[in-house]
A = this chain, B = another copy of it.
Amino acid sequence: MERDKSHRDVTIKDVAKRAGVAISTVSRVLNGLDKVSAKTEKRVREAVAELGYVQNALAVSMVTGQTKTVLMVVPDFTNDFNGSVIQGAEEYLKARGYTMLISSTRDFEEEDFEKLYRRFSGLADGILVVQGSPDRMDHARWEKPLVLIDAYRPQEDHYTVEIDNERGTFLLTEELIKNGHRRIGLVGGIPGESASGRRVAGYLSAMEHFGILADRRLMAFGSHFEETGSRAMAAFLSLPEGARPTGVVAVNNLTCVGCMKVLAERGMRAGREISLTAFDDHLLARYSVPGITVIERPTIEMGREGAKVLLALLSGERPKEKRLLMESRLIRRGSVIPIGE
């Protein structure tokens, strides 16, 4: 509570005194807007250097109304997809003089979103929200610029950065079908969540496209986490021979890991006893033997583009295309076994 005024930071006043000018002159030099004589400017700059003066960002924000700060909301920091998105966004923001505040929504209750908005509304100029959480958030409470990454809410009207989720699982499913698979399991994510929803749709649409009847027993849902993948794979494996899927599509990185975990526990491997394809590339998919066939998303770029759109919004631009669709691609590895008819 006690402020120690003795070793206070040096302020604009100190600089003004040292340079023998008014504080408004110092401010002008620092912000380089109005004209200042070369001589005065030099004196001020010297005083700044000598005193090691640093602007008080808080005071600047108070009067300008801008914090030059962006809030990033992610479901979880331990997921490598989120990590990459953050990396991309942070680099872009930092390079443009913006600072990044961060908050994870793991274990959030409904009410916590409201608190989050309250707490940060005065601290950040804009907000970047990464998938997962958004479906439970009431974005309407946030009145400043907002960009959604990897989420889309048709009933609302936000700027978003996405990939074509439906096409992704379509490709994964198609890959299995073209290799002769007919009984294909699906490990869905959270039933109501937007990205998961599209991915499930892609699976169904591929099945239909190739005239295969989808089997309810081969579709499992739950969460974005490992556990859902493990449970699903275990259930699939316990089906009788004729009903058991020969291939499985996992809708995200962690559920894929869960599938692989169960396989490993039973001495099985994707690409040997069963085929597996999944959304999102990750270490395990890339370097396990055989590797997993996946849909790779430009994660760093998604973060960067999200930040780019947000800064555009902050500078008053209003891009008329609200949804930005990024490219994703299928990477074929050894996890899909060709099956003879």
- Residues on A lying within 8 angstroms of B by beta carbon are 1, 3, 9, 54-59, 61-62, 64-65, 67, 69, 76-80, 82-84, 86-87, 90-91, 94, 99-104, 106, 118-123, 257, 260-261, 264, 267, 269, 282-284, 286-289, 291
Contacts of A82 in B (CB 8 A): 83
Contact B104 A102 (CB under 8 A): no
Contacts of A61 in B (CB 8 A): 58
Nearest Cβ distance between residue A57 and chain B, in whole angstroms? 5
Contact A287 B269 (CB under 8 A): no
Contact A123 B58 (CB under 8 A): yes
Chain B residue with Cβ nearest A90: B104
Contact A104 B77 (CB under 8 A): no
Complex Cα gap A104–B289 (Å)? 32
Contact B100 A58 (CB under 8 A): no
- Number of copies of this kind of chain in the complex: 2
Contact B62 A90 (CB under 8 A): no
Contact B104 A101 (CB under 8 A): no
Can you list 12 pairs linking A and B with CB atoms under 8 Å apart?
A1-B64, A3-B65, A54-B118, A55-B122, A57-B119, A77-B87, A78-B83, A87-B106, A100-B102, A257-B283, A261-B287, A284-B284
Complex Cα gap A83–B61 (Å)? 30
Query: Knowing A61-B58, A284-B283, A287-B257 touch, does A99 contact B87 (C-beta < 8 A)?
Result: no
Query: Knowing A56-B122, A57-B123, A283-B282 touch, does A84 contact B90 (C-beta < 8 A)?
Result: no
Contact B102 A90 (CB under 8 A): yes
Nearest Cβ distance between residue A119 and chain B, in whole angstroms? 7
- 12 additional A-B pairs beyond A54-B121, A101-B101, A260-B287, beta carbons within 8 Å, are A3-B65, A9-B121, A54-B122, A58-B61, A58-B62, A59-B62, A62-B62, A78-B83, A82-B83, A101-B102, A269-B289, A288-B288
Chain B residue with Cβ nearest A79: B83
The 7 closest A-B pairs by CB, nearest first: A77-B87, A77-B83, A77-B86, A3-B65, A283-B284, A78-B83, A102-B102
Chain B residue with Cβ nearest A7: B143
Contacts of A55 in B (CB 8 A): 122
Nearest Cβ distance between residue A282 and chain B, in whole angstroms? 7
> Considering residues A87, A104, A120, A289, which has the most beta carbons from chain B within 10 angstroms of its beta carbon?
A289
Contacts of A122 in B (CB 8 A): 9, 54-58
Contact of A120 among B9, B83, B91, B99 (CB under 8 A): B99
Query: Knowing A79-B83, A287-B284 touch, does A90 contact B118 (C-beta < 8 A)?
Result: no
Contact of A84 among B78, B100, B269, B288 (CB under 8 A): B78
Chain B residue with Cβ nearest A100: B102
Contacts of A119 in B (CB 8 A): 57, 99
Nearest Cβ distance between residue A163 and chain B, in whole angstroms? 18
Complex Cα gap A326–B120 (Å)? 33
Contact A264 B287 (CB under 8 A): yes
Contacts of A283 in B (CB 8 A): 257, 282-284
Contact A94 B90 (CB under 8 A): no
